[in-house]
Amino acid sequence: MSTMSNLSRDLVEMILSRLPITSLREVRSTCKRWNDLIKDPKFIKKHYGQEAKEILMIMIYDSRACLMSLNLHGNHKDLVDPSIKQIGKLDQVKIINVFHCNGFLLCVTKNHSRVMVLVWNPYLGQTKWIQLRNDYHILDSFAMGFDSNNNNHKILRFSYSFNQKYEIYNFQSNSWRVLDIINNWSIYRGDVTLKGNTYFIAKEKLKVEEFLICFDFTSERFGPFLPLSFHPRPEDYVLLSAVREDKLAVLFKKHDAYEMEIWITTQIEPNTVSWSSFLKFDVRFLNESFLFPYASFFVEENKKVALIYAIDRASGTNQKAYIVGENGYYREVALRDSKCWILMCSYVPSSVQIE
């Protein structure tokens, strides 16, 4: 009679890959061999990373962080029953914002009038509360990255204003400190973490043109201005998104145009960037009441498609997402109603433990 400990690796992989990702915490404690397999980077890459058949996403439904799975069958010309299903949820706290880095989720939570920060690794089922130095302000934002020299994770806190102040939290020392950064530009929108560093859209004071800029968590400094592949103005729509684990995507739409374009980096580092055109498509199929400033998107590079949705101005809900591709292809994907703002970003699990 077979026991769990002597099942073949292929059979164990098949069993584990079919479990909800947030249930793996309980499975890890039942068998050391299974625990080692779950933490194996090769297993993660095969079933949840670049080689995975399904795409993992983080969504915020009704102030709760949900881990979702998007299944795209076929190619962009013949996607059979594209579907989104919930595979995990953080129910304990009310979420007002979330940031993704290297398999960790930095969740800004609210309990009555008190705002706190929670770091969550859904794959390992670990959480850690981070105490803020001072009270949270509505213009405050966060980013999470890590030091490339020792993989020490850090949190950047700043304000969306021209009088920005920056402070950083170090996981190893469990402490905050103020950064001596003075600049003549402001973070304007967007924040995506790639390879341990976070990228933003920024603009100089009294100037119109926007640019990309990177915060390097190793040097704890911002890099130089990096060019976008277009020239947006303040009234245009620019969104950032991660492509799996190592590329940046940017969506651009002029406020008075019906065409939308998506570009993907061919090279991305704190000091350099290069771009390649990914998709251009007509957006007249979208409801005119959709609020693009609050849209989210991500791309599936291999299938040459993008998933995009936004808040409906009239109802305040997100009922449908749109999969778009080449040659005018688009398809709707049903989502359940939500009375709250929804954020979507791609997610790649990590076996790294929270310090």
Tell me, yes or no, whether 147 and 17 share the same domain. no
Query: What percent of the chain is predicted at pLDDT more than 70?
Result: 74
Residue 3 pLDDT class (50, 70, 90 cuts) = low
162 lies in some domain: yes
Tell me, yes or no, whether 134 and 5 share the same domain. no
Residue 110 has what pLDDT? 81
Strand residue runs (E) in 162-253: 166-170, 175-179, 185-194, 197-204, 210-216, 221-222, 237-243, 247-253
328 lies in some domain: yes
Residue 47 has what pLDDT? 62
Tell me, yes or no, whether 64 and 178 share the same domain. yes
> What residue type is 218 in one-letter code?
T
Segment 147-162, tens digit of pLDDT: 999 989 999 998 876 5
pLDDT beyond 50 at 271: yes
295 lies in some domain: yes
Averaged pLDDT score across all residues of the chain: 79
How many angstroms separate the Cα of 236 from the Cα of each of 20, 187, 314, 321? 39, 16, 21, 21
Number of domains in the chain: 2
Instruction: Give me the sheet containing 290-300, strands edge to edge.
Output: 290-300, 305-312, 320-324, 330-334
Residue recorded with tokens 């973070």: 187
Tell me, yes or no, whether 17 and 125 share the same domain. no
Residue 167 has what pLDDT? 95
Tell me, yes or no, whether 139 and 28 share the same domain. no
> Residue 50 sits in which domain range?
39-346
Question: What SS3 class is residue 12?
Answer: helix
What dihedral do alpha carbons 290, 291, 295, 300 form, nearest 10°? Answer: 30
Find which of 10-14, 148-152, 283-287 is predicted with most confidence, using mean pLDDT.
148-152
354 lies in some domain: no
Average pLDDT over every residue of 260-276: 95
Tell me, yes or no, whether 291 and 152 share the same domain. yes
Average pLDDT over every residue of 107-126: 84
Tell me, yes or no, whether 91 and 172 share the same domain. yes
How many angstroms separate the Cα of 195 from the Cα of each of 56, 86, 131, 239? 18, 27, 25, 19
Tell me, yes or no, whether 101 and 233 share the same domain. yes
Tell me, yes or no, whether 73 and 161 share the same domain. yes
Residue 121 has what pLDDT? 86
Residue 93 pLDDT class (50, 70, 90 cuts) = confident
- Segment among 156-165, 180-189, 254-263, 343-352 with least mean pLDDT: 343-352
355 lies in some domain: no
Tell me, yes or no, whether 148 and 93 share the same domain. yes
pTM, full prediction: 0.83
Segment 335-350, tens digit of pLDDT: 655 555 556 667 777 7
Segment 234-252, tens digit of pLDDT: 788 888 998 877 899 999 9
Average pLDDT over every residue of 312-317: 60
139 lies in some domain: yes
Residue 243 has what pLDDT? 86
26 lies in some domain: yes
| Residue from 91, 92, 152, 67 nearest 344 by CA | 67
73 lies in some domain: yes
pLDDT beyond 70 at 207: yes
Residue recorded with tokens 């859904």: 122
Find which of 37-41, 162-166, 182-186 is predicted with most confidence, using mean pLDDT.
182-186
What gap in Å lies between CA 171 and CA 352, rounded to an integer?
A: 13
What gap in Å lies between CA 251 and CA 165, rounded to an integer?
A: 28
The CATH number for 188's domain is 2.120.10
Tell me, yes or no, whether 32 and 51 share the same domain. no
Residue 279 pLDDT class (50, 70, 90 cuts) = very high
Average pLDDT over every residue of 302-331: 74
Tell me, yes or no, whether 72 and 15 share the same domain. no
pLDDT beyond 60 at 76: no
- Segment among 169-183, 263-277, 318-332 with least mean pLDDT: 318-332
Residue 264 pLDDT class (50, 70, 90 cuts) = very high
Segment 20-35, tens digit of pLDDT: 666 666 676 777 777 7
Residue 88 has what pLDDT? 60
